[in-house]
Amino acid sequence: MEKYAVYVPRLIKKRENFAPGHRACIGCGEALAVRMAFKALDNNVIVANATGCIEIVASQLPFTTWHLPWIHTLFENPAAVASGIEAGYKAMKRKGMAVPENTKVVAIGGDGATSDIGLQAISGALERGHDFTYICFDNEAYMNTGIQRSSATPFGAATTTSPAGKHSFGQFTWKKNMPEIAAAHNIPYVATATHGYPFDLMAKVRKAADTPGPAYVHILSVCPTGWRSATDTVNRQSRLAVQTGVFPLYEVENGVYKMSIDLPKLRPVKDYLKIQGRFRHLSDDLIQQIQDRVELEYQKILEKANNVTKRAKSKSKTGAAKASAR
């Protein structure tokens, strides 16, 4: 049986927790990512959804795309609402009240609701140790309200509030590193994912939900409207973000870093930038700045993952030496 295991396909359930019929833009990578994320979970999930694209396109009364208990929250408080749901659920169980077993609490928001407006509530929920999963669907700007820049907008990108022109090259700050901020809270699980690698995304969301305590998953979600790109290239762009090192895929389990895809050689960042209109104004010098920064940040993640591996091997050798000495 062992040698045939490689040919067994990976299966996913047919039931959709995020159903079709929503009002997302053509080619919306975020809607695709949300569908994948909640396809990875059972139906024993309560969702706290921040204001943003997904809330708007999937919940216009009297219609809804959600086949799960769902609560619309404000930009700033999905993590706080999820904390209250989780605390209330535990209190009801403690009092012996009839509640569904193994209920998962998931808070979701875009990059604005996560890295800007809701950061305080997220930090508080992670620090308090609530048993919930926070998922950021990152399309790198406030797309729902007119493509304004956020702290997750990449350096050099043109938005309506960081326009490119004679006196500006677009966004002048570097993208805020939310996965590392989450990891700095010493929570059990942090991961990055993107819809271009669907099985990786679904496995990480499942692992996050099954992990006791707080978990954070950061999902890059391509937005053709805001990125000024072709609607049929969202998965290609998603994969290029990974293959160029712009968006590395990794996990942090109890402080231990692990690369999900460790590429022997990165593709040039230009391959990723050139298919997006938001970067079309960039000079070769600016592209080289981005290339240098990407390589620097990618190396930092690699070193964390490799150092952990080296420490584990060192401990293993030390343990073996002690055992033989006995």
| Span of 12-21, 183-192, 207-216 with lowest mean pLDDT | 12-21
* 168: in domain: yes
Q: Could you tell me where the DSSP H helices lie in 171-252?
A: 178-183, 198-210, 224-227, 234-243
Task: Give pLDDT, residue 322.
Answer: 53
Domain membership of residue 7 (yes or no) is no
CA 134 – CA 123 distance, rounded (Å): 11
Q: How confident is the model at residue 2 (pLDDT cuts 50, 70, 90)?
A: very low
CATH of the domain at 263: 3.40.50.970
Q: What are phi and psi of 6, to 5 degrees?
A: -65, -25
What pLDDT is attached to residue 307? 73
Check: CB of residue 198 under 8 Å from CB of residue 186.
Answer: no
Domain assignment of residue 153, yes or no: yes
Quick check: is 5 in a domain?
Answer: no
Query: In the predicted model, is pLDDT for residue 267 greater than 90?
Result: yes
pLDDT in tens, 233-255: 999 999 999 999 999 999 999 99
Q: 176 lies in which domain range?
A: 15-325
Q: What local confidence, expressed as pLDDT, does residue 262 receive?
A: 86
Residues 134 and 191: beta-carbon distance below 8 Å: no
- The pTM for the full model equals 0.91
Looking at the predicted structure, is the pLDDT value of residue 213 above 50?
yes
193: β partners = 219
* 232 located within any domain: yes
Handedness of CA 136, 140, 146, 150 (dihedral sign): positive
Answer yes or no: is 10 within a domain.
Answer: no
Tally the domains of the chain: 1
Residue 136 within a domain: yes
What average pLDDT score do residues 130-159 get?
98
Q: Does 114 reside within a domain?
A: yes
What pLDDT band is residue 14 in, cutting at 50, 70 and 90? Answer: confident
